[in-house]
């Protein structure tokens, strides 16, 4: 029998709410940060002005993975059991991929910025605040998903209260619309509990 959120202890509901809130917030912040430039070149060198928007670089793979993480949190709220835990694991792998992108960015993106500056010589390329935001939010997102993977089997099922109620034991299920029309075609009253109507 699936437990509703109201039947869970207050401490369990508190941990569930805190974990989901932290996970959604860090996932959203990571997605925003991954959609911004991480490295840019500024100033001028060798007569080339490098302060325009084309002289920066970002990590599209990190953005794609961060969106997977964000979608994963949405699915965790409406699934249950093993499916929920499997989705938590998938989102955790995506979040780890974001952290890996952050770790490799300083070795890849500065070169991409310099490649866009022909003849500029040695231009200083610096990380933007969005890079550090993505780094911190990505690590926090991994932590929240680890907690989600560990605790998700005990989480309440948010969608159970919207399931169609089952018929009580020993009571026949309600006839569907097709059965009602068939009874009318056969000259029977489908609302009469005593049986077929007399012709």
Tell me: pLDDT of 59 over 50: yes
Percent of the chain with pLDDT strictly greater than 70: 69
Question: Angle at CA 68, nearest 5°, toward 37 and 84?
Answer: 155
Between 17 and 145, residue with greater pLDDT? 145
Between 42 and 133, residue with greater pLDDT? 133
The pLDDT, as a whole number, for residue 44 is 55
Residue 47 CA to residue 65 CA, distance in Å, equals 39
Between the two ends of the chain, the Cα-to-Cα distance in Å is 46
Quick check: helix, strand or coil at residue 48? strand
Across the range 138-156, mean pLDDT stands at: 88
Residue 51 CA to residue 14 CA, distance in Å, equals 48
Residue 14 CA to residue 35 CA, distance in Å, equals 32
Place of tokens 């309440």: 156
pLDDT band at 53 (very low <50, low <70, confident <90, very high): very low
Strands of 72-145 (E only): list them. Answer: 125-127
Quick check: helix, strand or coil at residue 37? coil
Structural domains of the chain in order of their starting residue, each with its CATH number: 11-162 (1.20.140), 167-199 (no CATH)
Sign of CA dihedral 44, 47, 52, 54: negative
Across the range 165-181, mean pLDDT stands at: 62
Question: Residue 63 CA to chain centroid, in angstroms?
Answer: 13
């Amino acid at each position: 029998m699936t437990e509703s959120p109201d039947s869970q202890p207050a401490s369990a509901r508190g941990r569930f709410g805190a974990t989901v809130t932290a996970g959604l917030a860090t996932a959203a912040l990571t997605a925003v940060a991954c959609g911004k430039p991480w490295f840019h070149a500024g100033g001028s060198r060798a007569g080339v002005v490098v302060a325009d928007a084309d002289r920066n670089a970002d990590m599209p793979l990190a953005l794609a993975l961060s969106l997977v993480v964000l979608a994963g949190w949405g699915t965790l709220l409406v699934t249950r059991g093993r499916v929920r835990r499997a989705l938590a694991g998938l989102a955790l792998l995506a979040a780890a991929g974001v952290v890996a992108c952050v770790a490799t960015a300083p070795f890849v993106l500065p070169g991409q910025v310099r490649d866009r500056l022909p003849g500029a010589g040695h231009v200083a390329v610096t990380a933007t605040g969005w890079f550090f935001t993505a780094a911190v939010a990505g690590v926090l997102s991994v932590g929240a998903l680890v907690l989600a993977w560990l605790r998700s089997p005990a989480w309440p099922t948010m969608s159970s209260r919207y399931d169609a109620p089952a018929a009580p034991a020993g009571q026949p299920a309600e006839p569907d619309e097709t059965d009602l029309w068939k009874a009318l075609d056969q000259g029977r009253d489908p609302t009469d509990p005593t049986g077929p109507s007399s012709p």
